[in-house]
Structure 1
Amino acid sequence: MSEVRLPLEGVKVVELATFIAAPCTARFLADLGADVIKVEAPKGDPLRYTAVNEGRPLDQKENTSYDLENAGKRCISLNTKSEEGREALEKLIADADVFICNWRQGPLKRAGLDWETLHAKYPALVFGYVSGYGEVGPDKDLPGFDFTAFYARGGILGPLRDKKSLPMLTVQGFGDHQVAMNLAAGVLAALYRAKTTGEGDQVVVSLFHSAVWDVSLMLQASQYGSDSCKFPMERWENGNPLTLAYQTSDDQWLQIAMPQYDRHYPVLMNAMGHPEMAENPKFYPQKNLVPNRKEFSEWITNEFRGKTCDEWCKILDAADLPYAVAQNWDTLLEDKQAWASNIFYEMQYSNGNKRTLVRPPVMFKEMGLPEYNRGPYLGEQTESILKEYGYSDEEVAKLLEEGAAIPMDPALRD
C-alpha cells in the first residue's frame, strides 16, 4: 500500500499568535501536513507558563497545554521589535501560503502586518485572524478571552444556569477550541480559492460571534416570548423536562435526552415502572404539561433519586432511551469508547512521564491518524529555519548575538 499523501503537504503556514485559539488552528493545519512555523517572542508564548492555573508542575519538557495547541510545528524565536527580527519575519511571511495571527488591530497595523498591507504585497496570501469581538464596531479593540468575549458577552454564562444558582465555573480553552475549528474551516476554503484563482483572503473569526452562533437556536426562539426560553430559569420551568439531568441515589447525575416529548414520554413512564403515568392527561401530551410542569418536575426528580445510576442505566438501555452519565474528568480519561475511537493519545515525555493528550475532533478514513509530536521548545528550530531562508552561519550568529533571534535553551535538549 502506497504512503498516503496529506492534503496540505507543501503548504507553508506562519503563525504569529499566543494562547489557544489561533495556535490551535495552526496545529490542525500541521496535522493535515502543512509546514507550520510558529514565531514566538523572546519570552515565548504565555501558554508555556500556565501550568499553575492547571495544577501542573512547570516543566517545559512536559507541557501538556502547550503540546495540545502546538503539536507538529517548528518554532523560531524572534525579537520582531528589532529591525533584523522584523526583517526575518517578513521573509517567512513572503514565502507563506497562510499567515495566522491574533494580535489586536492597533499593534498589527503599527507593525505593518494588517490585512491591507500584507494583501498589497502578497496577493495570494491567506490571513487567518482571531479576535475577541470582530474587526468592526465600537468594541473591536477590546482585549478578548473566552472567559469574557465568549462565555460572558456571548450569552452563555448568564442564561445557562438555574436561576437560583451561581454562574458556572468556566474553564479556559472551551470557546477557544470552537473558534479554532471555525477558523480552520474558513482558512481551508480561502486556501482552496487562493490556489485556484491566485487571490488570497482574510478570514476573521471572533470569540464573541462564535458564542452567539453556539446559542443561536435558543437566542432566535427567545424572540417569541415563551417562558420556556427565558433563561436563566428554575429547572421546573423548562419546557421539556425530558431533556434535563437528574440526580440518582448514589449522587451521580444522569442526563436524559428526549426532545420528542410526546413520542418518548409514554415509553419512559413504562420503563420507569409507572404505566399509570403514561396516559396521565396532566402531563401528556406536551401541551397539557405546560401548566403542570412544577408538579411533574418534583415527581420525576424524586423518582430518579430512588435508584442508583447503574440501575437507571440498565432500565434506560432496555428501553433504548437516550441518556448519558455526567462524567467527571477522571472517569472521562478512562472512557473505553474514547480510547477505542482514538480521541486520546498517550504521550511519552523525555522526563519519563506518560500523559493522556487529546486529538482534534476530525478523523479521516484514508489518511489515518496524524503523528502526535510534542510542541517545539522555544526557539528549537531558530537556527535551522534562518539558514533555510538564506541566512549564512555568520548572519545567524550575529542575529543571535544581538538578540534579534533566540536559540533554544541547551538545558532542554533531550
Structure 2
Amino acid sequence: MQKGILSGIRVIDCGTYIAGPASATVMSDFGAEVFKIERPDGGDLWRLFPHLPGTAKSELNWAWVLTGRNKKSVALDLASPEGYEALVRLVKTADVFVTNYQAQLLTKFHLNWDDLRAVNDRLIFAHLTGYGEKGDDADLPAFDALAYWARSGLMTGVTGRDGTPSGPRPGIGDHPTAMALFGAIMLGLYNRERTGRGSKVGTSLMASGAWAHSCDLQAQMLGATFPKPAGPTPINPLSAGYITRDAKVFLLVQLDPDHEFPRLCKMFDAPEMATDPMFATDAARTEHAAELSAILQSQFESKDLSEWRSMFRQYDIKWAPLPLLEEVVNDPQMRAAGAFVQLDYPGHGTIETINSPVFVEGSDKRKPEAAPELGANTREVLRTLAYTDAAIDDMIKRRIAAG
C-alpha cells in the first residue's frame, strides 16, 4: 500500500452513517489503517441507505463506496463480553478512536473516554455529537438533515419555509471549507513532527463543495438513476417536512422505517397503520406516498409543536424544527453545545459570536477579543522586529504600513 502522512496510524471507526466515519475515511486517504467496527447483523446502517425510497439507485452501493473506502471491516457484537473484549484488545493497539454514538450507547457498551483511556492512555478519543454534550437535547438522536441542516436554520434560509429555492447564505461554504483547511494545517504540523520539514497544504472552495455534495456526485459517477421530483407530494413521506397546528414547520427523518414507522403509528394511536398493506413496506409507502403524506400532515396539524416535541421524545421519533433566524439565535441548545460564545466589545458591552466547532477536553479556548481596527497593532509588532519609531512613522507616512 502507498504510504502517506498518516501511515502507521491505527484508527478505529466505531460509528455509523456519515459524519464520524467520514473523518476516518479522510484519515485513511492519508495512509492511516482504519478498522470499521460493524454489527454482525447487517453492518453499518449506512450500507442500507440507498435502499430507502427517494434515494439514488445504482448497481454499486454508492453510499458505501464513498464512506467505506480504504477500511477494514470488523464485525463485532459489542453487547457480548467476547465482542467487547476483542474491541478492547484492538483499542490497546490504536492511536485514534472515532465514534458518533449517543452518550447512552457509549455508556451501555462501556466505550466512554474514561473506559478506553484506562486501557490506552495514548488514545485520541474523537466523539462527534449531534447537539453537543450538554443541554436538554444532548442525547437526542441526530442526522445532518436534522442537526446541521434544519436545526441550524440553514434549511430555512436556503429554501424558505414554503420550499421556494433561494440564494446561498453568506459564508455557507466558507466556514466548512475553513475546517477543511484547518485539517490540512494539522496534517502539515503532524508531518513536520515526523520529518522536521514544512510542507504546502491547502484546499479549495470547489473541492470542499464537492465533498459536501459527495453523496449525489458519487451516485452520479456510478451511473445512478435519481428519483424524479414529485411535485407537492414528497417521494418519501417519512423524510419530509410538516406543519403543525400553530404553523410551525419541522422535519421528520426515519431512515430505519422497519423499526421506526411502527413507533410513529403508535404515537398517533393508530398501530394498525404500520401493518396496513398500503404502508407496510418501502415499496408500498412509495406507491402510496400521497396518501401517507396526507395522513401524516392531518395528524401533525392537530397539535402544536410544543405538544409534538414531548411526544417525539417519548416515542423516540427523529425530528428537528425548521426555525427562523431569531429562533436559532435564541435556541438554548446552541449555547449548551458551545456553538455561541460571549465577548466584550468596546462600546457595545457583551455580545455573542459563533464559536469554532472544535473542542478538546482539558484545554480551554482563549476568551474572544474584539476584532482590531485597521493597523491597531502595527507599531507594537514592528517594534518587536527592531524597527525604530522614526522608521515606523516613515513607513506609515509613505503608506508602506498603517497604524
TM above 0.5, yes or no, is yes
Partner of 1:292: 288
Determine the C-alpha separation between the residues in 2 that align with 1:263 and 1:321: 11
Is 1:256 matched with 2:252?
A: yes
The gaps in structure 1 that reach 5 residues or longer are: 1-155, 408-414
Q: 1:231-264 CA deviation, whole Å, 9 max, x = no partner?
A: x6535342x3222221111110121221112221
Larger radius of gyration: 1
- CA contact 1:272–1:315 (8 Å) conserved in 2: no
TM-score, normalised via structure 1 length: 0.55
**Residues 1:369 and 1:198: Cα distance change in structure 2 (over 3 Å):** closer
Amino acid at match of 2:358: V
Match of 2:190 among 189, 192, 195: 192
Determine the C-alpha separation between the residues in 2 that align with 1:224 and 1:268: 35
Match of 1:375 among 366, 371, 378: 371
Partner of 1:390: 386
- CA contact 1:255–1:325 (8 Å) conserved in 2: yes
Once the two structures are superposed, the pairs formed by residues 5-404 of structure 1 within 5 Å of their partners are 166-222=164-220, 223-228=222-227, 230=228, 234=231, 236-238=233-235, 240-404=236-400
Determine the C-alpha separation between the residues in 1 that align with 2:217 and 2:248: 30
Q: 1:57-91 CA deviation, whole Å, 9 max, x = no partner?
A: xxxxxxxxxxxxxxxxxxxxxxxxxxxxxxxxxxx
Partner of 1:150: none
Determine the C-alpha separation between the residues in 1 that align with 2:253 and 2:399: 58
**SS of corresponding position for 2:365:** coil
- CA contact 1:161–1:233 (8 Å) conserved in 2: no
**SS of corresponding position for 2:197:** coil
Determine the C-alpha separation between the residues in 1 that align with 2:315 and 2:380: 61
**Residues 1:288 and 1:352: Cα distance change in structure 2 (over 3 Å):** closer
Determine the C-alpha separation between the residues in 1 that align with 2:234 and 2:314: 29
**SS of corresponding position for 1:406:** coil
Partner of 1:406: 402
Determine the C-alpha separation between the residues in 2 that align with 1:284 and 1:227: 23
Q: 1:318-371 CA deviation, whole Å, 9 max, x = no partner?
A: 112122222222222222222223322222222143322111011111102322
Once the 2 structures are TM-superposed, how far is the Cα of residue 213 of structure 1 from its aligned partner? 0.9
Amino acid at match of 1:236: T
Determine the C-alpha separation between the residues in 1 that align with 2:310 and 2:223: 39
Once the 2 structures are TM-superposed, how far is the Cα of residue 315 of structure 1 from its aligned partner? 1.8
**Residues 1:301 and 1:374: Cα distance change in structure 2 (over 3 Å):** same
- CA contact 1:382–1:405 (8 Å) conserved in 2: yes
Determine the C-alpha separation between the residues in 2 that align with 1:161 and 1:358: 22
Amino acid at match of 1:189: L
Once the 2 structures are TM-superposed, how far is the Cα of residue 313 of structure 1 from its aligned partner? 1.4
Determine the C-alpha separation between the residues in 2 that align with 1:289 and 1:338: 35
- CA contact 1:246–1:253 (8 Å) conserved in 2: yes
Determine the C-alpha separation between the residues in 2 that align with 1:224 and 1:214: 19
**Residues 1:362 and 1:347: Cα distance change in structure 2 (over 3 Å):** same
Determine the C-alpha separation between the residues in 2 that align with 1:178 and 1:352: 29
Partner of 2:123: none
Once the 2 structures are TM-superposed, how far is the Cα of residue 174 of structure 1 from its aligned partner? 1.2
- CA contact 1:227–1:237 (8 Å) conserved in 2: no
Determine the C-alpha separation between the residues in 2 that align with 1:303 and 1:399: 71
- CA contact 1:179–1:206 (8 Å) conserved in 2: yes
**SS of corresponding position for 2:173:** helix
Determine the C-alpha separation between the residues in 1 that align with 2:312 and 2:190: 47
Amino acid at match of 1:359: N
Determine the C-alpha separation between the residues in 2 that align with 1:365 and 1:249: 42
Determine the C-alpha separation between the residues in 2 that align with 1:267 and 1:377: 56
Determine the C-alpha separation between the residues in 1 that align with 2:187 and 2:226: 40
Determine the C-alpha separation between the residues in 2 that align with 1:396 and 1:404: 9
Determine the C-alpha separation between the residues in 1 that align with 2:164 and 2:304: 27
Determine the C-alpha separation between the residues in 2 that align with 1:384 and 1:187: 28
**Residues 1:206 and 1:342: Cα distance change in structure 2 (over 3 Å):** same
Amino acid at match of 1:325: P
- CA contact 1:243–1:257 (8 Å) conserved in 2: yes
Determine the C-alpha separation between the residues in 2 that align with 1:334 and 1:248: 21
